[in-house]
Amino acid sequence: MGWLNQTFRAKLDTANLEKYEAFAEHYLLESTRMNSDGIGPRDIDHAPVRRWVCAQAHQLGWLPQLFSEFDDGPHISRERIGNHRVERVGKKYQRIALAEATARIMDNLTINSFSDRGLLKAFEPGPESLSSMRDIDPSLLLRRMQQTGWASTPVTWWTPTQPQLPAGATEVLLAWLQVRSDLCDGPENIEVTSPDGESWLILDCHRHWRVPGQNKRNHSDAWSHITCLITSRGNGKQLAHELLKQHRGDASRFPGNRDLSSFLGEHGWRDGEEFELETHEYSGIRPANKTYILRSGAHGRSATYKRPPEVLLATLRIPCTVCINSLTGGGHSADNSVEEAFTLHVPSSGLMRTLGLKLRNGMVPEYVDTNGIVRLVDPSLRARGPSAAVASRDFFLQELEHAGLEPVWVIAGEKNVYAGSSMSMQGFGGRICHTTVYRVENGAIVKQGELIQEHAASPEQLKALHSTN
């Protein structure tokens, strides 16, 4: 160690040698000599940081004349640890200030961590504890949306169709499984009209249907997801052909699909980027004799079954990407910043740049063009229904064409028959998987084709299903 240290010292100029001697050398040599991971540079003094956080909370806007009455009210829990249904406004300001303090510390000080073998590992990524910090988005001012969540999707102007789910005898449920006319995969599910007569295109929407009150008996269940993919102009037909080679029910496998990682207000300029069209190849093996749980509804353990080994492939050789991201509000906090957790659909930064969109504001997170006209919005902001992203039809198609791009839509989903959740863990009636693809031809949305796959239940599963009648 001494020889390596002398060699390293010889490589340093005078200024860097002084820094090395004043900081790293002593701790590096001592931790190695003592074979201890308890020897390291001193931690920062927490007291000045606490004072800075407090002062910054006031600087950000907390004033006693504005918030003292609320923060001192009887609805605020004084327990140090507990279920804080309502949190002090001052604490929200402090959390924002703490996030800034952490950023400043990480920008200006070296982060040190130790392995379990007594080796000092300087300049590694920050400690895991940083990931547990609560981020409060100061640009997201929504308190609630009108989303139906896991409830059965109602008929709305942006979800205009729904299947006729049967209830009752098991034979009726199994007969419904073979019906192909209620897959809700027609073009009317993509091209929709709002109550004011404006034409919109669905860019992303998940729909789920079930018969209320039927979970404890044999029941039908259906869902589908609409996804818009963007590809280079002229590649749409070939991409559609690739999409139809296999069922596309897992929208997370599409290139570019991701949750929003930045604050709402900085999305589109902090992570501003052009569309990144990517190919996608996924492969894996689902092992044999493993038990899989079929789910129905929000809590939905309805049936279990065993599958033979299966090779999983998801291939898209034509470069493409999704154009919608999602932002979850209030899902991982208990500070009552929102009244109920929600998912907001927003355009990807690539789509924002291509269409020239900007966020209106954090209270009404609609996306407008340079003239202030709303061009993309999640309709569950104002009306009850599922979270979705809709774009102004003609504007969307024209701007993509000008950019040398074109859209392709995938509507993929399932129909299932499950046993009652409280009656059988083995009963299952079968599944129909369907994928339908649309593209644009001469300004019209046309169907490129569909793929329907039937997954029959085993004799044992059918026997268990009938035994629950």
The pLDDT tens digits for 30-65 are 655 555 555 555 667 889 999 999 999 999 999 999
Residue at 156 is within a domain: no
Domain match, 227 and 103 both: no
What per-residue confidence (pLDDT) applies to 2? 64
Q: Within a domain: residue 181?
A: yes
Residue 213 has what pLDDT? Answer: 83
Same-domain check for residues 238 and 287: yes
**180 located within any domain:** yes
Query: Does residue 378 share a domain with residue 326?
Result: yes
Rounded-to-integer distance, Cα 382 and Cα 145, Å: 7
Sign of the CA dihedral with 36 first, then 42, 47, and 52 last: negative
Same domain, 192 and 122: no
- The residues pairing with 320 across neighbouring beta strands, listed in sequence order, are 231, 278
- Would 183 be classed as within a structural domain? yes
What pLDDT shows up at residue 314?
57
- Do 174 and 118 lie in one domain? The reply is no
Q: How far is Cα 285 from Cα 462, in angstroms, rounded to an integer?
A: 26
Give the pLDDT of residue 38. Answer: 54
Q: What is the pLDDT of residues 308-338, one digit of tens each?
A: 444 445 577 889 999 999 988 765 454 456 7
CB 328 within 8 A of CB 341: yes
Point out the residues of the chain with pLDDT beneath 50: 114-132, 283-312, 332, 334-335
pLDDT of residue 423: 59
Other Cβ atoms closer than 10 A to 102: 15
Tell me if 43 is assigned to some domain. yes
- The last residue of one of the domains, among 81, 112, 132, is 132
DSSP codes joined into one string, 130-192: GGGSPP--TT-------B-TTSPPPP-SSS--------S-HHHHHHHHT--TTS--SGGGTEE
Q: Are residues 240 and 301 in the same domain?
A: yes
Identify the domain boundary among 77, 110, 132. 132
Which is it for strands 405-418 and 428-441: parallel, antiparallel or unpaired? antiparallel
Q: State residue 313's pLDDT score.
A: 53
Task: Name the domain boundary from 76, 107, 132.
Answer: 132
Is there a single domain that holds both residue 127 and residue 274? no
Q: Which amino acid is at 151?
A: A
Residue 112 pLDDT: 54
103 with 198, same domain? no
Q: How many domains does the chain have?
A: 2
Residue 437 included in any domain: yes
pLDDT attached to residue 42: 61
What is the rounded CA–CA span in Å between residue 181 and residue 165? 12
Residues 9, 15, 17, CA angle at the centre, nearest 5°? Answer: 20
State the residue for tokens 């299932």: 416
What's the confidence (pLDDT) of residue 138? 78
* Cα-trace Rg, the chain: 28
Residue 149 lies in a domain: no
Give, to the nearest 10 degrees, the angle between helix 64-71 and helix 89-108: 110
pLDDT of residue 291: 40
Question: Is there a single domain that holds both residue 78 and residue 180?
Answer: no
Same domain, 208 and 319: yes
183, 224 Cβ separation under 8 angstroms: yes
pLDDT of the residue at 201: 98
User: Does 165 map to a domain?
Assistant: no
pLDDT for 302: 38
Q: Domain of residue 18: give its range.
A: 2-132
Does residue 84 sit in the same domain as residue 182? Answer: no
Examine the domain organization and report whether 122 and 205 are in the same domain.
no
